[in-house]
Structure 1
Amino acid sequence: MEDEKQEAAGWFRELRDRIVGEFEALEDRHTEGPLSDRHAGRFEVTPTTRHSDDGSDAGGGLMSVMRGGRVFEKVGVNVSTVFGTLGEAAQTSMAARGVPGIETDPSFWASGISLVAHMQNPHAPAVHMNTRMFWTPGAWWFGGGSDLNPAITYDEDTAHFHEVQRTHVAPHGAALYDELKAWADEYFYIPHRKRARGVGGIFMDDRNSGDWRADFGLVQDIGRAFLPAFLPLADRRRMQPFTDADREAQLIHRGLYAEYNLVYDRGTKFGLATSHDPDAVLMSLPPLAKWV
């Protein structure tokens, strides 16, 4: 399994590099329209580290964050590979999910990419994407997906985002897209608001069909779907004029996003519970938000 671990970690880093390059190129293209008089945004890259309870090295990664760009108000694209021993809370949670052997051996290894983009233009949707591989001595699995979070909804944008994801998932099973879409609708729901976080996408967790290569191929295609699903929407909406009322709607919607990530998101809880860099874990939070 060591070769498979390294292959997965390498893929997540490759995907990160591709996305960072495309996002910076979009910043460079925005030479007309709202906020085009700013300097083109660039990612600030910071190594992240994780230490075990005894202070020994337990992995890390790269936190890449762009702030105050022409198109992106804040976007983070993080990759990490961490390992060690699960804390009691994480161990208990995984045992409840039925992870084999985790009660007696809490060793783990995890690698993945996590992305959240908050846009300058309120007409451009925020977006989230992550994919990951998790390993314990008793099991391995994949998880992740992507979902769209517009403050101002456009049906054509929603349709495009879902259709690209459907096309990329289709080779892995005729019914799989509908399954992953339904999973996203359930996972990205905010119970205390009785509403969805956005307009959905695809999501999965604990994916282990018994065929590592097939499951890894699915995760790769979920990652490959991201840029063609999202980038045309950002490119289309970046030029659109917006009003103070549009900005107000965006900030209020961001409050909804922050609530979900702090209260319900499994990745946020896992990152904090396993002592990963809190700045990297909380990178998903918007730079500004409002509540009514």
Structure 2
Amino acid sequence: MKPLDDQQQACRDWFEGLRTRICDEFEAIEREAGSGASFEFIPWERTDEDGTPGGGGVRGQMAGKIFEKVGVNVSTVGGRFSEEFAASIPGAEDDPSFFATGISLVAHMANPHVPAVHMNTRFLCTTKRWFGGGADLNPPIPYADDTADFHAAMRAACDAHDPEHYPRFSKWADDYFYIPHRKVHRGVGGIFYDHLDSEGEAWDANFAFTRDVGRAFLDIFPAIVRRRMAMPFTDADKARQLEWRGRYAEFNLVYDRGTLFGLKTGGNIDAILMSLPPVATWA
């Protein structure tokens, strides 16, 4: 993989630092619950199709009393897209070279009253450069105040940069996180953005926005976990959670673009599929 330029290195450093802060906070929640669970960090390396080194990343995973399964992964990869896949990526039609760095997080919770969550932010380079990402809440048993607080945090992150961001990106999340064959949304939404072009001065603004999305997630999700994690639940509540997890798995395996990107670019299989729940049911 080619040496990183200043923008690429700055993004990599931010994503890796955010990973550390999130993992520290999640481990603190486990300690509050009387659990000694901690993250296991497993590095991996990628080889490009021509046999040259193609970067890699670190897969972080924890199983505890509150977080039944949580993965917080960072990766920095580069190389060349296959000819077929390059045709679907902006700026790669004529030159299939690419660079990507980012953080990806999925948490499946032990208590069905605590929502599962997904967060991902990333920076990609072909002959074009752009940011993408977002965060969305996925409760098996929705609570209106959790949904409102999560959306308020995402709105605040958006409004600090552009008043058009939240209306556009929240609708994008609603449209994207939808399971057509079930005719249901994957969760209660959040924000989703992609191809946020970052050439010239736009890079600074969009990198600042992407950082604020990460900070907003770190502020709001642990607060929601602490609000719900001690609530009692019934067998019926657990059954509802497991059925909902089946829907979540269907979306990630059939429709999720991040899953496809990872598989098409030779990413680490365990890191790519860490989004799948540890246990799920189908009627």
SS of the residue corresponding to residue 87 of structure 2 reads: helix
Gaps of 5+ in 1: 32-38
Please say if residues 131 and 198 of structure 2, whose CA atoms lie closer than 8 Å, have aligned partners that are also in contact.
no
Structure 1 residue 143 corresponds to structure 2 residue 132? yes
Residues 211-254 of structure 1, C-alpha deviations (whole Å, 9 max, x = no match): 11001111111111102221111111110001110000000000
Matched AA of 2:51: G
| Residue 240 (structure 1) aligned with residue 231 (structure 2) | yes
- C-alpha offsets along residues 6-39 of structure 1, whole Å, 9 cap, x if unaligned? 00010000000000000000000013xxxxxxx4
Give the 3 Å change call, closer, same or farther, for CA 132–288 of structure 1 in structure 2: same
1:40 aligns with 2:43: no
**Equivalent residue for 1:287, pick from 258, 278, 282:** 278
Q: Give the structure 1 partner of residue 50 of structure 2.
A: 54
Mapping of 1:1-292 within 5 angstroms? Answer: 2-31=5-34, 39-67=35-63, 69-94=64-89, 99-100=90-91, 102-136=92-126, 138-208=127-197, 210=199, 211-292=202-283
3-state SS, counterpart of residue 172 of structure 1: coil
Deviates further, 119-128 or 228-237? 228-237
Question: How far off its partner does 1:209 sit?
Answer: 5.3
Contact 1:165/1:229 (8 A) holds in 2: no
* Matched residue SS, 2:121: strand
- Rounded Cα–Cα distance in structure 2 between residues aligned with 1:267 and 1:71: 26
In 2, the alpha carbon distance for the partners of 1:66 and 1:251 equals 19
Q: Counterpart of 2:111 in 1: which secondary structure? A: coil
Q: Give the match for residue 36 of structure 1.
A: none
Decide whether the 8 Å contact of 1:89 with 1:273 is kept in 2.
no
Q: Quote how far apart the aligned CAs of 1:173 are.
A: 1.1
How much identity, in percent, do the aligned residues show? 54
Counterpart-to-counterpart distance in 2, 1:175 and 1:107: 32
Residues in 2 aligned to 1:62 and 1:112: alpha-carbon distance in whole angstroms: 11
State how many pairs are aligned.
278
RMSD of aligned residue pairs (Cα, Å):
1.0
The residue number in structure 2 matching 1:35 is none
Q: Which runs of 4+ in 1 moved over 4 A?
A: none
Contact 1:41–1:72 at 8 Å: present in 2 too?
A: no
TM-score (norm: length of structure 1): 0.93
The residue aligned with 1:34 is none
